[in-house]
Amino acid sequence: MSAPAGTLTRVRRAARSRLQDLPDLASVPFSGVFSDHMLVAEYAGGAWRNVDIVPYGPLSIAPSISALHYGVSAFEGLKAHRTQDDRVAIFRPRENARRLSRSAARLSMPSVPEEMFLEGLRELVRLDRDWTPALDRGALYIRPLLFSTDESIRVKPAERFTFLIFTFPFGSYYAEPLDVLVTERFVRAFPGGVGDIKPAGNYAPAMLADRLAKEAGFHTVMWLDAKERAYVEECGVMNMFFVIGDDIVTPSLDGTIMPGITRDSIISLLRDMGRTVRERRVSIAEILAAHERGELRECFGTGTAAIVSHVRRIRYRDRDIELPPVGEAGVGKSARDGLMRIATGRVADAHHWLDLV
């Protein structure tokens, strides 16, 4: 009898784990080596079938699939940590399942049912749990991906899709403070576009801006809004926070900003700590003025990989904003520490963010 649509059909284990070839998971470079297994599911005839866990390896795809030609593809990124009592906890996976559904809807792809996403993910992480670095020595990064597989280059909504999830371990991500270049030439997102979801097509056009920023001696770019080139949107692939006087400000989710799951978590934690976080538009002129008054205390980006990355310098046109070094009491640092205490099970998970496998 065949399994009901969307449930795990088959698990084919790797004959030999590659884990034994790795001396230390914490020293593996980001996406340098992938865990033993991946989840692969196929969508055809209006239903998800063949939800399999198989050894990680190449896929066989036709050259004509629209994912390759037209970017009919969307992805997610999340992490699992080892907890203090040696369990493995996935951080807020339901939020990623929901964001992937929003990406799918916008690209005319079928949604991956939330329970199929979550159950498949738990099973995969359970099977490869030994790939999760030790407590405080890094995390297991999880990459879900959904793309079309119709063998047709007609520009039309596709009918066949593949959903997959693979994972990899990476060591602690102590990112150095960032130097960022405000770009007025390029934009990441625009009203009515797709800046608030994660289609593959958002990332390729950002690479040139990123490369030019690196060539000019910066780590990444700060994006402004498409219409006026006046309001701060994001920085690289991170949401932005500014500490101005006693206020913490982050751009509001107006359709061109990624609803980052780290952004949402950091806002909740800062509010739990009694801080005021304002979600509103922030102009680059306001940042310059706050800096001139000596009130710009901190600027940091948030995202799954590094959680919080402090910004040290912002270049806007011919002006450099140098931010003061952040100590242990910094807003970004305390929010990051608070998030890590929850992610590693050191304090009660009051927001129900952890999915223990």
Ligand X SMILES: Cc1ncc(COP(=O)(O)O)c(C=O)c1O
Give the binding site for ligand X (CB under 6 A): 77, 198, 234, 237-239, 258, 260-263, 302-304
Min. distance of Cβ 167 from ligand X in angstroms? Answer: 15
Min. distance of Cβ 235 from ligand X in angstroms? Answer: 8
Min. distance of Cβ 101 from ligand X in angstroms? Answer: 14
Nearer to ligand X, 238 or 284 (CB): 238
CA distances from 199 to 90, 180, 196, 258 (A): 23, 24, 9, 11
Q: What kind and span of H or E run contains 90?
A: strand 88-91
CA distance 144 to 166: 7
Could you tell me which of 257, 245, 357, 247 has the C-alpha nearest to residue 303? 257
Could you tell me which of 36, 38, 29 has the C-alpha nearest to residue 10? 38
Min. distance of Cβ 260 from ligand X in angstroms? Answer: 3
CA distance 265 to 262: 5
Min. distance of Cβ 258 from ligand X in angstroms? Answer: 3
Q: What is the DSSP letter of 20?
A: G
Min. distance of Cβ 220 from ligand X in angstroms? Answer: 11
Nearer to ligand X, 52 or 234 (CB): 234
CA distances from 324 to 58, 107, 179, 291, 337 (A): 47, 42, 13, 10, 20
Nearer to ligand X, 92 or 315 (CB): 92
Nearer to ligand X, 158 or 277 (CB): 277
Nearer to ligand X, 197 or 326 (CB): 197
What residues does 302 pair with on adjacent strands? 239, 308
Nearer to ligand X, 65 or 314 (CB): 314
Min. distance of Cβ 269 from ligand X in angstroms? Answer: 13
CA distance 158 to 106: 13
Classify the C-alpha dihedral 47-115-106-147 as positive or negative.
Answer: negative
Min. distance of Cβ 330 from ligand X in angstroms? Answer: 19
Six-digit token pair at 276?
């005021």
52-66: b or e for each residue (b if 16 or more CB lie within 10 Å)? Answer: bbbebeeeeeeeebb
Please check whether residue 239 is in contact with residue 260, taking contact to mean a CB–CB distance below 8 angstroms: yes
Nearer to ligand X, 237 or 296 (CB): 237
Nearer to ligand X, 88 or 194 (CB): 194
